[in-house]
Amino acid sequence: MASETNEVVKEFPFFKVYNDGRVELFDPPVEKIPPSDDPNTGVRSKDVAISSDPPVSARIFLPRVSDPERKLPLLFYLHGGGFCMQSAFSLGHHIFVSTVAAEAGAIAVSVEYGLFPGRPIPSCYEDSWAALRWVAGHAYGDGPDAWLNEHADFRRVFIGGNSSGANISHTLAARVGKIGLPAGVRVVGVILVHPYFGTGNDRMWLYMCPTNGGLSDPRLKPAEEDLARLGCEKVLVFVAEKDRLREVGIGYCAELKKSGWRGSVELVEHVGEEHCFYLFDPKYEKAVELKDKFVSFVRHN
């Protein structure tokens, strides 16, 4: 009987499924680090609860404030991890977002959204939208978080993420374009680092999302109407030459230009690099290049 219940009936790049419905992820849970104050950069960070049911939280990063009257651009960040791994509280994502906050002089909100299998897709999309709405609720200075009330410039909001987080970032921008955000909130730009929009792992995404709309689901393959009304003014897309998602990122830029969307899109490629290479060694020359371009986009728009 034990052998029967341990029979693997499906296997995907990130997990396998047993015949009793159990899901086993191949990678162990990522180690999470606590928020902290960085004495070198002056960036302070803290964790906030956005919702208890469903559980949604975020880490907020506040750079050194030299002029309390000067409002700071706001980066809303979504981590990658194939919709089933990683965390806003992992070392790699913490370091990256903290560094961007310091160098761009931006307040950043990095979202901890629900992951498969505990919370199947579309939880990641709905949690992230709820978090964005929560952040936007501070636009008039009367939200629950003092840092956002006092320091965020809601006329300079940026949405960004890597891999699956870039996919979620696109869906948020599409929803902003369709539904909008409260008055006073303006999404200037969207930053997609090595975005996932299908290719290779399509069946895995479909399995993780029981309510999927098939291979033409607009969350998997961006719809022309969503691209045409994308709720931002500028888009920056990064691809890596040796990343299996490279063509998807390039294709996204091409489709965005063809859609009739009136904003501007820029594509940046790093030759010889793999998927999300910049997270593994922040001091690596090309990782610094990517980070600097990311920072410049936030700082100068």
**What residues are annotated to the active site?**
163, 243, 275
Residue 17 bridge partners (DSSP): 10, 23
As to burial, measured by CB atoms within 10 angstroms (0-12 exposed, 13-18 middle, 19+ buried), residue 112 is buried
Q: What is the distance, to the nearest Å, from the Cα of residue 107 to the centroid of all Cα atoms in its chain? A: 15
DSSP 107-139: EEEEEE---TTTS-TTHHHHHHHHHHHHHHTTT
Say if residues 232 and 173 touch (Cβ distance below 8 Å). yes
Peptide bond into 55 cis (omega under 30): no
40: alpha, beta or left, given left = phi > 0 and alpha = psi -120 to 50?
A: alpha
